[in-house]
């Protein structure tokens, strides 16, 4: 009988089997771990979305020092932080930079009663019920999820916003708690003190309960 | 530890031990010839065509299911599990006979298994594949199947290891893989035979790669035998674990008619019983299709009949005990379910199962009857149907009428459930046709071991 | 031939017949317009108001933020919904400008937060895709100016003495009454005609239940569905609760033909054909008992005993002849409360009919009324409408009447316009709009203003005009308060005549084996809710049938005629006949057949079109509620879908009944377990359902459906057993079929502490929360249905199809954004309204406190008119739920399973078996 | 210069006898080839039992430990959830999947050991150069030995008497 396979066939077969036994599971594991710890590549993190109006948080929140709640008024009281209506922009910009070209869409919006369509940067799935007010009330810094917006010309997502990200904090909020008074300070996480969960808010008697599914899903 | 007796060429004559005009080359030529020469081309093509048609039906049913949702089935509240689940249990059960024939009989040295084990194992594999499709298809959101498998993820949440369903995910997957592995290890020497006899390049490469360069060296035979025995030894616990898991899928819920401790052995016995029936059917079919009357002898058929009789009677005992248990529990819900099965809306399924499963096999008390191929086939077919009815009754009757009469309901499989079931039968046949086309349907080397080669100048003393 | 008048195929009014002949251009098919209307829905305007775009990538803020709207937060408005003339005070939840759910107005004494299913479901009407938005003349869309031009000449005619008739349903609206009076002042021959098909004219006059110890009812159904249900049930529950405190027992004796919700709660119930009630009443009143059956004699004896004991109120059904009614109601020593509801001065319907017949009417304004459908069968309303004269039909959508009216005016939904009226207890409510109507929609009062003068004041001005004198000064402040609170000051007029009595027609006469009882339908009422898919899918309290009406017959008659549920029969009365599927109703008096109104619609109310049979054809003007007739099997089968197929408890005691003062034993599941227990969290949410107070009204089901976005699946899917209600009301019969005990049991997820479903789920999609909720995490669910299989109560519901995305009648805009909408392939079930728990929890956290007792109210609890559902934190011993569970009547359903349900039941109390505190 | 010598036999018995003769003749390293396991050869070529058994056991135990650890970690550490009021560490329930996984691992362990102890896979084998060797998977029995010139005669001398059908050099 003649040889069916060449000498190199064995090398190829072994390579193939190794791949099957080793590389495929390894690749799956890598995939899984990118899900656990999303990278810039696998998620929307650090992607600066172009917006209809080149609004700069660095300028407004950083250089001018306008507080978050000036525009995101319901962050303290409601589930949603709220996008400012055109009116809010024009409250100032009817006085200053009245002719600026960049602000033309804003003026048009008010003129034509057409809302501005912003591109969403922070978007949770519909089955997740995130409530801003309860986090603000507990003294969770805005920056702990949104990053230091005073450094961002265009707003971008800095945290993965995955369930694990939420759970990490719900189980051990210490790193993110700055107290109610310092919540809006964009740089607080760099400089500020952290509070224990009991110091930050008087009514969390059982921090372990915070990872019940119904905290976020209804 | 003594080597497994079944490997002895000279052991005491066993029931069905192959003997007769075979020579080593004759065995090889006959069995390999089926694969290499494709002798029944026309009939094979017709059969394969029919099964392919059913596979297409199966695919269409799945397409309809996935586009329109599981609502195309007849399932509802309270009967959320319909024949999808009873089919699963049925198919899984069929699979077990292959494992039992291969492993238990290997370990106990029953040489008559050699004519049956290869295709019985193939049957196991294909039955498990069919079984495995149903639970996936019956999911509301099958695309999220991977959540059943523990893996790191961004949710930080694993599966529920307390759920019998999760056990079954493990059990069925493991069963499938280990059956495949066991089958493959047993196939390696035969694949080498085919490699060495294949005439075309494709066949040589196909069988050559699968044979992994097997030469039949003394060292590899010795290692192979040890390995095969160990894997075989893993089989029965695996089957018991699997049937335990599958039975707990029902018994784990607090539902009258399900919630009893008898279920694991009960399911196991039913499974092996129905499996033997399907092996018997396949044996009769292959025997006549390929003229293997001297390889699959009447003794083999008789043994299968006897096994059906034994396991069937044990199953009947379980039935009786289940009813007794319901009565003895004095629990009115349990009794109600038992009465529903005996005389209520599911009486047809219950008595159908009893008659088809237990009345039929009584014929096998008579030796000549169980050695009759035609009768064996007929009885085996009826038992398969009966066992299907039993599974249907078990799943549906308990769900349809559990505790609160206000939520009692009814269930009838819809068109698309029947087509899916027919499609799964087709899938099984399709795979089986491919198997008999491309792989040796009887283990050549094990038959070779049984060949009583007339050895010129043989020295009996040396051979012991 | 009058009887066939109703059955003619409806045709578009032929152009050229009216006074001003329009161009003969055909308009769109009625069917097509309904589809078109999907896009033209009057809510289009509101869609632009919504805060967040639908596409996830876009965020669209307001240009100018409306006052009082916080994106993501709910606003609540008190208003009311007028049902057959009686306003149901409601509190509406409005989110981003979209009214989302209704509940009873907690501050209003007639509601106390409760509401009936009709009211709760009425919000869907606001989103009905079939709503009409355009003014039409002979079916063609015309500009508003055309209508106004037409009015100019019409006003001149009316002022000159031409007959102006305004046909409305019953209405207690003072503004309507004022406007009519104003019309009459300007036009010499203007009058309002009242046509309320569900009731004899004028009824109900007010609450009927007084402060009696024993109530004896002859055919009256105060607890049954209808505009007075919430008020009466509340009163009844108060009496029952009060009696429980003392040694007293309230008793209810009911003689009636068809089992009603009142009859179901009776301590002693006697099935008797309606024509038998007079004999029975005479016997109770002292007449001869000789010819009575044994059963009847014992009822009479019991009633006489009660009468002797005193503090008895005797009620008579609305449909009984006046003379008999007055005699019956005078028997007890507790009088019926004085009438409080003022329906205003109206012309009788038959007067209008004869005027129309004579062609005397110049203009007929049909205001939110559908006489072509709802007129009795012996009246050919379609023909009458075309006897000269001009017909203006104002309705929210085009229906049978629109086809015969020259003018069609699109009416704003009640929740889009201002109005007022009286609640069931007689107090006044100013109802405010919850949404802005589309530009061409008319409010009802606006229509009348248009008749009056050129300008046509809006609804708000009309209503304010009415209240300017009635409210204490300063007007602005008291007006704001009245609107805000949903309660307007002022009681019922002092000298109300019981107007109802004048027209309650006698119904004797006619030959036939059967007594055909014609009743409003518990699901669609008189047909006005036929397009409401929540109500269509709401199982009727007793028969549990859905989606179409049936003819109910007694088990004895069914056996005699060899009929089974779903067999098609022909019910004939006089010349008229309908074909209906049979529903066998245990407890129905033999010889009676019950048909219900509101089905067999030919146009309008999308879902209802062509569904069921039209029982109006069986009516005659003289005999609207009871006729003599026959029932003939046709040998055919018809669709009849029910949600409950087995009707007895099968020898078990799922619903426990105890004698007054007794408790149940060993019935709470506190069983031992081999497992170490879980430490309970901060709170333990729990529920108790008092079966002694449950009247089976289904309010909880509708409230739950609207709160939790529970999808409607349709008739075919219900037939397959796939209805989605998270809470269901089980109804069991026990005892003989002829006169069974009827019990109700609301069943929902029990939130078992040792939940079998949780064990079954392979992916941890259903687990326990720290505060004791059995959670169902939809986004984790992969749909194995193991949990459903393992659930002993079978309360889990599965999305076999994409139910939530299927039906345009339940649009996304209506949905409660606080609750996830479930996808196909996902299991769902009662969550104890976890969204309300979370909201309360967040509020409490923000205020640095814990959640207070009573702060979380589940939707079913809020809606329950008798307060039978109690919810709270059982860890606090003082909480209502903890105390309910400590009651001697508390038991757990299927306690023997050891699953430790968090929901417990309180046994029903019945003194049927002899009266303990009798004279003895 | 070693060559591979191949002796061909017709019966298993001949093979066994030949192998014994070779052993007696002092050949330590030779290999038999047969189309089926030949009983009598056990004495001469022993299975590497220890490696196979150990591999099965080790893989099995490791599989069990891994599955049990994963189940425990996921249920107790990663996300401790109250499931049906049962304890977090529900070890009897974790046992079943772990057991199943152990069997899978053991079976894989056996396969790995089988391949490694038997020198598989080896698609290209010098023996395949011999045109008659194909019958080793059918009806012929072979003995192969690596031998230099000196040994060849010894080899032939030992095997010819026991019925070697043909003795030849592979690839010659």
pLDDT tens sequence across A63-77: 888 888 888 888 888
Is the CB of A35 less than 8 angstroms away from the CB of B153?
yes
Q: Count other C-beta atoms under 10 Å from residue B349's C-beta.
A: 20
Percent of chain D beyond pLDDT 90? 28
Q: Is the dihedral of CA A8, A11, A16, A19 positive or negative?
A: negative
Q: Which residues of C touch B80 (CB under 8 A)?
A: 785, 788-789, 798
Low-confidence ranges of chain D (pLDDT < 50): none
Chain C, 893 to 912: residues with Cβ < 8 Å from chain B are 893-894, 897, 899
Percent of chain C beyond pLDDT 90? 35
Is the CB of C678 less than 8 angstroms away from the CB of D83?
no
CA atoms within 13 A on the CB side of A52: 17
Residue C650 exposed, middle or buried by CB count within 10 Å (0-12, 13-18, 19+):
middle
The closest of D136, D149, D162 to D25, measured between CA atoms, is: D162
For residue D135, the model assigns a pLDDT of: 82
For residue C776, the model assigns a pLDDT of: 94
Question: What is the mean predicted confidence (pLDDT) over B75-96?
Answer: 91
For residue C289, the model assigns a pLDDT of: 76
Question: pLDDT class for A201, splitting at 50, 70, 90?
Answer: low
Q: Is the pLDDT of residue C31 over 70?
A: no
For residue C131, the model assigns a pLDDT of: 86
Is the CB of C764 less than 8 angstroms away from the CB of D86?
no
Question: pLDDT class for B53, splitting at 50, 70, 90?
Answer: very high
For residue C501, the model assigns a pLDDT of: 44
CB neighbour burial string for C298-320, b if at least 16 within 10 angstroms, e if fewer: ebbebbbebbebebbbbbbbbbb
For residue C38, the model assigns a pLDDT of: 32
CA C416, CA C740: separation in Å to the nearest integer? 45
Question: pLDDT class for C42, splitting at 50, 70, 90?
Answer: very low
Backbone φ, ψ for residue C290 (5° rounding): -60, -45
Q: Distance from D85 to chain C by nearest Cα, in Å?
A: 5
Residues D113-124 have pLDDT tens digits of 998 888 888 888
The closest of C240, C247, C249 to C691, measured between CA atoms, is: C240
Q: Is the pLDDT of residue C477 over 60?
A: yes
Residue of A nearest to B154 (CA): A36
Is the CB of C767 less than 8 angstroms away from the CB of D85?
no
- Give, in order, the Cα–Cα distances in Å from C619 to each of C238, C517, C519, C592: 37, 10, 10, 16
Decide which of D168 and B363 is more confident: B363
Contacts of D87 (CB under 8 A, 6+ apart): C675, C676
Question: In this structure, what token pair is assigned to residue C285?
Answer: 């009143």
Residue of A nearest to C840 (CA): A134
Question: What is the mean predicted confidence (pLDDT) over C157-161?
Answer: 88
CA angle A36–A38–A39, rounded 5-degree value: 145
Question: pLDDT class for C690, splitting at 50, 70, 90?
Answer: very high
Q: Which residues of A touch C779 (CB under 8 A)?
A: 125, 127, 217
CA B230, CA B232: separation in Å to the nearest integer? 5
Please check whether residue B332 touches C, CB under 8 A.
yes
- Give, in order, the Cα–Cα distances in Å from C909 to each of C240, C266, C890, C906, D140: 10, 11, 12, 9, 93
Look up residue C291 and give its DSSP letter. T
Report ipTM for this prediction: 0.89
Question: pLDDT class for C278, splitting at 50, 70, 90?
Answer: confident
Neighbours of C, requiring at least 3 CB pairs below 8 Å, are A, B, D
Q: Which of C60, C831, C842 sits opposite A133 (nearest CB)?
A: C842
Question: pLDDT class for C664, splitting at 50, 70, 90?
Answer: confident
Residue of C nearest to A109 (CA): C63
Q: Which residues of B touch A167 (CB under 8 A)?
A: 156
Q: Which of D121, D122, D133 sits opposite A1 (nearest CB)?
A: D133
For residue C25, the model assigns a pLDDT of: 33
Question: What is the mean predicted confidence (pLDDT) over C142-165?
Answer: 88
Question: What is the mean predicted confidence (pLDDT) over C602-619?
Answer: 81
Please check whether residue B329 touches C, CB under 8 A.
no
Residues C239-256 have pLDDT tens digits of 888 887 665 678 889 999
Q: Is the pLDDT of residue C605 over 80?
A: no
Q: Distance from C780 to chain A by nearest Cα, in Å?
A: 10
Chain A, 24 to 63: residues with Cβ < 8 Å from chain B are 28-29, 32-33, 35-36, 38
Give B298-361 as a DSSP string: HHHHHHHHHHHHHHHHHHHHHHHHHHHHHHHT--HHHHHHHHHHHHSTTHHHHHHHHIIIIIHH
Q: What residues form DSSP beta bridges with C419? A: C431
3-state secondary structure of B397: helix
Q: Is the pLDDT of residue B6 over 70?
A: no
Question: In this structure, what token pair is assigned to residue C547?
Answer: 């989606």
Q: Is the pLDDT of residue B360 over 60?
A: yes
Residue of C nearest to D88 (CA): C678
For residue C321, the model assigns a pLDDT of: 84
Question: What is the mean predicted confidence (pLDDT) over B338-347?
Answer: 91
Question: What is the mean predicted confidence (pLDDT) over C737-757?
Answer: 92
Please check whether residue C792 touches B, CB under 8 A.
yes
Percent of chain B beyond pLDDT 70? 92
Q: Which of B152, B195, B213 sits opposite A33 (nearest CB)?
A: B152
Estimate the crossing angle of helix B41-68 against helix B415-438, to 10 degrees.
Answer: 140
Is the CB of D132 less than 8 angstroms away from the CB of A1?
yes
CA C499, CA C251: separation in Å to the nearest integer? 30
Mean pLDDT of chain A: 82
Contacts of C794 (CB under 8 A, 6+ apart): B77, B78, B402, B403, B404, B407, C788
- Which range is least confidently modeled, A165-174, B21-30, B157-166, C192-201? B21-30
Q: Which of D79, D81, D85 sits opposite C753 (nearest CB)?
A: D85
CA C526, CA C533: separation in Å to the nearest integer? 15
H or E stretch at D31:
strand D30-33
Q: Is the pLDDT of residue C770 over 50?
A: yes
CA C87, CA C85: separation in Å to the nearest integer? 7
For residue C43, the model assigns a pLDDT of: 34
Residues C625-648 have pLDDT tens digits of 888 889 999 989 988 999 998 889
CA A216, CA A162: separation in Å to the nearest integer? 12
| B310, B64 Cβ separation under 8 angstroms | no
Question: What is the mean predicted confidence (pLDDT) over A4-29?
Answer: 84
For residue C21, the model assigns a pLDDT of: 32
Residue of D nearest to A4 (CA): D124
Q: Which residues of D touch B193 (CB under 8 A)?
A: 35, 137-138
Q: Which residues of C touch D82 (CB under 8 A)?
A: 678, 767-770
Is the CB of A1 less than 8 angstroms away from the CB of B208?
no
Q: Which of A4, A160, A165 sits opposite B208 (nearest CB)?
A: A4
Neighbours of B, requiring at least 3 CB pairs below 8 Å, are A, C, D
Q: Is the pLDDT of residue C39 over 60?
A: no
Q: Is the pLDDT of residue C917 over 50?
A: no
Q: Distance from A3 to chain D by nearest Cα, in Å?
A: 5
Q: Which of B155, B204, B205 sits opposite A163 (nearest CB)?
A: B155
| Mean pLDDT comparison of B196-200, C116-120, C359-363, C526-530, highest-scoring range | C116-120
CA D163, CA D15: separation in Å to the nearest integer? 9
Residues C707-718 have pLDDT tens digits of 999 999 988 999
Q: What residues form DSSP beta bridges with C540? A: none
Residue of C nearest to A180 (CA): C846
The closest of B253, B276, B297 to B104, measured between CA atoms, is: B276
| C865, C234 Cβ separation under 8 angstroms | yes
CA A163, CA D75: separation in Å to the nearest integer? 17
Please check whether residue C749 touches B, CB under 8 A.
no
Question: In this structure, what token pair is assigned to residue C675?
Answer: 């497992």
Q: Is the pLDDT of residue B232 over 70?
A: yes
Q: Is the pLDDT of residue B453 over 60?
A: no
CA angle C97–C100–C101, rounded 5-degree value: 140
Q: Which of C64, C70, C831 sits opposite A218 (nearest CB)?
A: C831
H or E stretch at C166:
strand C163-168
3-state secondary structure of C474: coil
For residue C495, the model assigns a pLDDT of: 62
Residues C536-568 have pLDDT tens digits of 999 999 999 999 999 999 999 999 999 999 999
Question: pLDDT class for C346, splitting at 50, 70, 90?
Answer: confident
For residue C246, the model assigns a pLDDT of: 65
CA A52, CA A166: separation in Å to the nearest integer? 30
Decide which of C69 and B13 is more confident: C69
Q: Which of D33, D107, D163 sits opposite B216 (nearest CB)?
A: D33
Q: Is the pLDDT of residue A187 over 60?
A: yes
Please check whether residue C780 touches D, CB under 8 A.
no
Question: What is the mean predicted confidence (pLDDT) over C607-634?
Answer: 86
Question: What is the mean predicted confidence (pLDDT) over C314-320?
Answer: 87
CA B392, CA B84: separation in Å to the nearest integer? 9
Residue C897 exposed, middle or buried by CB count within 10 Å (0-12, 13-18, 19+):
buried
Residues C782-837 have pLDDT tens digits of 999 999 999 999 999 999 999 888 766 677 888 888 999 999 999 999 999 999 99
For residue C588, the model assigns a pLDDT of: 92
* Helical spans, DSSP H, in C722-805: 756-760, 786-790
Is the CB of D121 less than 8 angstroms away from the CB of A5?
no
Percent of chain B beyond pLDDT 90? 50
Question: What is the mean predicted confidence (pLDDT) over C413-421?
Answer: 90
Longest CA span, chain C: 91
Is the CB of D124 less than 8 angstroms away from the CB of A14?
no
Question: pLDDT class for B457, splitting at 50, 70, 90?
Answer: very low
Question: In this structure, what token pair is assigned to residue C677?
Answer: 């227990």
């Amino acid at each position: 009988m003649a040889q069916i396979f060449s000498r190199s066939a064995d090398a190829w077969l072994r390579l193939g089997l190794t791949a099957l036994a080793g590389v495929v599971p390894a690749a799956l594991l890598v995939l899984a771990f990118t899900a656990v710890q999303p990278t810039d590549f696998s998620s929307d993190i650090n992607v600066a979305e172009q917006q209809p109006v080149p609004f700069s948080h660095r300028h407004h929140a950083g250089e001018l020092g306008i507080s978050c709640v000036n525009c995101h008024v319901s962050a303290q009281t409601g589930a949603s932080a709220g996008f400012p209506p055109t009116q809010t922009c024009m409250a100032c910009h009817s006085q200053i930079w009245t002719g600026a070209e960049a602000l033309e869409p804003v003026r048009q919006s008010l003129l034509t009663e057409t809302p501005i369509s912003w591109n969403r940067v922070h978007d949770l799935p519909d089955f997740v019920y995130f409530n801003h007010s309860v986090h603000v009330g507990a003294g969770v810094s805005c920056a702990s999820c949104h990053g230091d917006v005073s450094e961002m010309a265009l707003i971008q997502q800095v945290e993965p916003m995955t369930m694990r990200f939420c759970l990490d904090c719900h189980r051990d909020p210490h790193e993110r708690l700055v107290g109610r008074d310092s919540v809006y300070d964009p740089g607080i996480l760099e400089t500020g003190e952290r509070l224990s969960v009991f110091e930050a808010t008087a009514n969390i008697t059982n921090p372990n309960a915070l990872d019940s599914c119904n905290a976020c899903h209804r | 530890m003594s080597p497994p007796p079944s490997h002895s060429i000279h052991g005491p004559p066993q029931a069905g031990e192959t003997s007769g005009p075979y020579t080593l080359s004759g065995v090889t030529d006959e069995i390999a010839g089926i694969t290499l020469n494709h002798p029944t081309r026309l009939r094979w093509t017709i059969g394969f065509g029919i099964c392919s048609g059913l596979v297409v039906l199966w695919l269409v049913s799945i397409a309809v299911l996935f586009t329109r949702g599981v609502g195309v089935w007849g399932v509802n509240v309270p009967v959320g599990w319909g024949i999808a689940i009873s089919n699963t249990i049925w198919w899984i059960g069929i699979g077990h006979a292959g494992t039992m024939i291969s492993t238990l009989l290997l370990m106990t040295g029953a040489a008559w298994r050699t004519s049956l084990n290869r295709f019985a194992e193939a049957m196991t594999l294909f039955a498990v594949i069919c079984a495995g499709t149903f639970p996936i298809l019956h999911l509301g959101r099958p695309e999220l199947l991977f959540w059943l498998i523990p893996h790191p993820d961004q949710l930080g949440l694993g599966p529920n290891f307390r759920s019998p369903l999760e056990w079954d995910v493990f059990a069925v997957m493991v069963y499938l893989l280990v059956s495949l592995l066991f089958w493959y290890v047993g196939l390696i020497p035969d694949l080498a035979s085919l490699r060495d006899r294949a005439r075309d390049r494709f066949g040589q490469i196909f069988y050559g790669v699968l044979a992994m360069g097997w030469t039949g060296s003394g060292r590899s035979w010795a290692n192979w035998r040890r390995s095969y025995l160990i894997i075989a030894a893993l089989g029965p616990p695996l089957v018991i674990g699997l049937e335990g898991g599958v039975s707990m899928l029902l018994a784990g819920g607090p539902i009258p008619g399900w919630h009893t401790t008898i279920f694991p052995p009960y399911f196991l016995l039913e499974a092996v019983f129905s499996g033997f029936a399907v092996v018997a059917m396949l044996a009769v079919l292959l025997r006549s299709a390929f003229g293997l009357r001297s390889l699959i002898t009447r003794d083999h058929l008789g043994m299968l009949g006897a096994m059906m009789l034994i396991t069937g009677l044990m199953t009947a005992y379980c039935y009786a005990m289940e009813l007794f248990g319901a009565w003895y529990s004095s629990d009115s819900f349990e009794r109600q379910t038992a009465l529903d099965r005996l005389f209520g809306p599911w009486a047809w399924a219950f008595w159908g199962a009893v008659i088809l499963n237990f009345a039929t096999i009584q014929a096998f008390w008579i030796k000549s009857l169980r050695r009759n191929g035609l009768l064996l086939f007929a009885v085996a077919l009826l038992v398969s149907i009966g066992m299907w009815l039993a599974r249907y009754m078990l799943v549906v009757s308990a769900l349809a009428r559990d505790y609160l009469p206000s939520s009692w309901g009814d269930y009838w499989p819809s068109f698309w459930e029947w087509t899916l079931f027919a499609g799964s039968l087709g899938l099984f046949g399709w795979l089986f046709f491919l198997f008999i086309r491309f792989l040796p349907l009887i283990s050549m080397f094990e038959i070779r071991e049984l060949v009583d080669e007339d050895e010129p100048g043989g020295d009996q003393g040396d051979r012991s | 031939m009058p009887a066939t008048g109703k059955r003619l195929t409806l045709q578009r009014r032929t152009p050229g017949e009216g006074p001003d002949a329009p161009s003969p251009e055909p308009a769109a098919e009625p069917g097509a317009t309904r589809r078109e209307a999907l896009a033209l829905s009057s809510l289009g305007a509101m869609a632009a108001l919504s805060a967040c775009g639908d596409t996830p990538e876009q965020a669209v803020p307001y240009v100018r933020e409306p006052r009082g709207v916080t994106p993501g937060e709910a606003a609540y408005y008190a208003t009311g919904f007028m049902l057959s003339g009686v306003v149901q005070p409601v509190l509406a939840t409005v989110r981003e400008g979209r009214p989302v759910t209704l509940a009873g107005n907690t501050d209003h004494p007639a509601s106390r937060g409760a509401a009936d299913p009709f009211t709760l479901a009425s919000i869907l009407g606001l989103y009905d895709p079939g709503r009409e938005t355009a003014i039409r003349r002979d079916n063609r869309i015309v500009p508003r100016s055309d209508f106004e031009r037409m009015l100019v000449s019409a006003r001149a005619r009316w002022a000159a003495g031409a007959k102006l008739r305004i046909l409305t349903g019953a209405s207690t609206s003072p503004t309507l009454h004022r406007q009519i009076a104003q019309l009459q002042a300007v036009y010499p021959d203007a009058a309002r005609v009242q046509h309320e098909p569900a009731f004899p004219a004028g009824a109900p006059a007010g609450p009927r239940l007084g402060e009696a110890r024993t109530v004896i009812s002859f055919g009256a159904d105060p607890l049954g569905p209808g505009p007075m249900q919430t008020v009466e049930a509340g009163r009844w529950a108060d009496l029952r609760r009060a009696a429980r405190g003392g040694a007293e027992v309230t008793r209810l004796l009911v003689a009636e033909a068809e089992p009603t919700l009142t009859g179901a709660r009776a301590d002693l119930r006697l099935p008797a054909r309606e024509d038998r009630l007079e004999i029975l009443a005479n016997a109770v009143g002292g007449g001869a008992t000789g010819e009575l059956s044994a059963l009847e004699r014992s009822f009479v004896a019991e009633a006489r005993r009660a009468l002797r004991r005193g503090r008895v109120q005797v009620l008579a059904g609305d449909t009984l002849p006046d003379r008999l009614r007055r005699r019956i109601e005078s028997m007890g020593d507790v009088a019926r409360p004085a009438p409080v509801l003022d329906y205003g001065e109206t012309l009788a319907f038959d007067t209008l009919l004869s005027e129309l017949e004579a062609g005397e009417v110049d203009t007929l304004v049909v205001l939110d009324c559908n006489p072509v459908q709802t007129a009795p069968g012996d009246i050919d309303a379609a023909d009458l409408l075309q006897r000269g004269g001009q017909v203006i039909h104002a309705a929210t959508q085009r229906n049978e009447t629109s086809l015969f009216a020259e003018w069609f005016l699109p009416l704003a939904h009640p929740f889009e316009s201002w109005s007022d009226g009286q609640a069931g207890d007689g107090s006044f409510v100013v109802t405010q709009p919850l949404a802005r109507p589309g530009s061409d929609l008319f409010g009802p009062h606006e229509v009348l203003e248009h008749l009056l003068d050129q300008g046509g004041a809006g609804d708000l001005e009309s209503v304010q005009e009415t209240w300017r004198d009635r409210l204490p000064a300063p007007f602005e402040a008291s007006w704001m308060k009245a609107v805000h609170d949903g309660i307007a000051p002022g009681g019922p007029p002092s000298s109300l005549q019981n107007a109802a009595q004048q027209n309650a027609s006698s119904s004797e006469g006619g030959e036939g084996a059967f007594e055909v009882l014609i009743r409003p339908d518990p699901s669609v009422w008189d047909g006005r809710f036929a397009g409401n898919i929540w109500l269509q899918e709401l199982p009727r309290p007793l028969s549990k049938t859905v989606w179409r009406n049936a003819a109910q017959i007694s088990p004895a008659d069914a056996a005699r005629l060899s009929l089974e549920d779903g067999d098609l029969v022909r019910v004939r009365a006089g010349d008229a006949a309908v074909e209906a599927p049979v529903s066998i109703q245990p407890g129905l008096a033999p010889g009676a057949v019950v048909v219900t109104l509101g089905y067999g619609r030919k146009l309008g109310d999308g879902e209802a079109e062509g569904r069921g049979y039209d029982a109006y054809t069986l009516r005659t003007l003289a005999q609207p509620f009871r006729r003599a007739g026959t029932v003939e099997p046709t040998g055919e089968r018809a669709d009849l879908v029910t949600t409950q197929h087995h009707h007895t408890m099968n020898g078990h005691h799922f619903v426990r009944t105890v004698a007054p003062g007794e408790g149940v034993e060993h019935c709470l599941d506190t069983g031992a377990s081999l497992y170490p227990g879980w430490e309970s969290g901060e709170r333990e949410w729990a529920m108790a359902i008092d079966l002694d107070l449950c009247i089976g009204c289904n309010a909880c089901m509708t409230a739950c459906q609207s709160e939790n976005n529970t999808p409607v699946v349709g008739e075919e899917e219900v037939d397959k057993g796939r209805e989605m209600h998270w809470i269901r009301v089980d109804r069991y019969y026990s005892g003989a079929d002829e006169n069974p005990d009827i019990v109700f049991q609301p069943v929902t997820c029990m939130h078992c502490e040792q939940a079998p479903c949780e064990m079954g789920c392979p992916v941890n999609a259903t687990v326990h929360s720290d505060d004791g909720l059995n959670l169902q995490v939809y986004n984790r669910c992969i749909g194995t249905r193991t949990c459903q299989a393992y659930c002993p109560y079978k309360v889990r519901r599965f999305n076999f199809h994409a139910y939530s995305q299927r039906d345009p009648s339940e649009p996304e805009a209506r949905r409660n954004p606080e609750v996830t909408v479930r996808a196909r392939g996902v299991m769902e079930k009662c969550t104890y309204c976890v969204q309300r728990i979370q909201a309360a929890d967040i509020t409490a956290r923000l205020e640095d406190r814990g959640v207070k007792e009573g702060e979380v109210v589940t939707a079913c609890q809020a809606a329950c008119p008798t307060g039978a559902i109690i919810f709270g934190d059982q860890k606090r011993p003082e909480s209502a739920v903890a105390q309910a569970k400590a009651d001697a009547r508390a038991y757990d359903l299927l306690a023997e399973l050891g699953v430790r349900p968090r929901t417990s039941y309180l046994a029903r109390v019945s003194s049927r078996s002899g009266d303990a505190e009798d004279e003895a | 210069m070693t060559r591979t010598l191949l002796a061909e036999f017709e019966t298993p018995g001949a093979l066994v006898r030949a192998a014994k003769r070779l052993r007696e003749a002092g050949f330590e390293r030779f290999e038999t080839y047969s189309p089926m396991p030949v009983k009598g050869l056990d004495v001469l070529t022993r299975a590497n039992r220890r490696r196979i058994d150990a591999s099965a056991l080790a893989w099995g135990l490791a599989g069990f430990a891994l599955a049990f650890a994963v189940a425990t970690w996921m249920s107790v550490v990663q996300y401790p959830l109250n499931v049906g009021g049962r304890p977090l560490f529900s070890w009897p329930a974790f046992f079943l999947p772990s057991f199943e996984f152990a069997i899978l691992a053991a079976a894989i362990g056996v396969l790995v050991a089988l391949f490694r102890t038997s020198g598989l896979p080896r698609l290209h084998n010098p023996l395949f150069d011999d045109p008659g060797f194909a019958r080793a998977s059918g009806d012929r029995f072979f003995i192969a030995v690596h031998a230099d010139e000196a040994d060849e005669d010894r080899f032939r001398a030992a095997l010819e008497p026991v019925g070697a059908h043909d003795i030849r050099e592979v690839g010659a």
